[in-house]
Structure formats: C-alpha cells, structure tokens
Amino acid sequence: MSPWVLAGLVGAALVGLGLYGLILHPHPLRKLLAFNLIGSGVFLVFGIVARRGAAAGFSFDPIPQAMVITGIVVAFAASALAVALILRLHAESGRVTLDPEAWTKPDDGAAKS
C-alpha cells in the first residue's frame, strides 16, 4: 500500500468518525472534537492533493500545504471561539445543551391563540 493511499484511507476514516460524532453526539464539546476530526481528515486530503505537483516535475505542490496551514489556523480559531462559548454558557446557566426545547421560555408560547 502506497503512502498516499494510506493517507486517503485514514482521511476517509477520520471524516467518517467525525461525521458520526458531529451528527449524533449531543454534547457540544464532543461535536467540536468531532469537527476537528473531520478537519484533520480534510487536511490529509489536501496532503494527497499536493502530490499532483509530481506530474509537473515538482516533488511537491506547495499551495495545498499553504492552504492546510491556513485551514488549521481557521479551525483553531473556530475551536477557540466554540470553547469560549461553551465555557460562558456553562458559567451563565450551569448546563451545556443545544436542545432548543431547553431554552424555550415558558411564556414564549403562552400568548399563542
């Protein structure tokens, strides 16, 4: 098995695991971790994409690498923002859930005719 096939398989596995977690795990922190898993998988795909430079005579195409670095920074920023929100939410309310019912105030539906 060549390294890039292995990288592709690992990337696919990471994306799959991440998708499972992102969709099914109710806790926001787990969702965030799952997002990072998918992100890693996608960055691996970028790594494989960089191989295309080989055809043009380069040993590697540098642009996807630049993109991966940018992507990692963006994902890091996103994670930081999400963690800050989770912490703040926990500090304000003592619980962390995304269930919309939990945040519906009782008087919201009361005036419904």
Query: Could you tell me the smallest distance in angstroms from the CB atom of residue 45 to another protein?
Result: 5
Options 52, 58, 69, 76; binder of another protein; rule CB under 8 A: 52
Nearest C-alpha neighbor of 51 from the set 62, 42, 66, 40 = 62
C-alpha span between 42 and 20 (Å, rounded)? 15
Options 13, 24, 54, 69; binder of another protein; rule CB under 8 A: 24
Q: Rounded to the nearest 5°, which phi and psi values hold at 50?
A: -60, -20
Binding site for another protein (CB under 8 A): 15, 19, 22-24, 26, 28, 31-32, 35, 38-39, 42, 45-46, 48-49, 52, 61, 63-64, 67, 70-71, 74, 77-78, 81-82, 85-86, 88-89, 92-93, 97-98, 100, 102-103, 105, 108-113
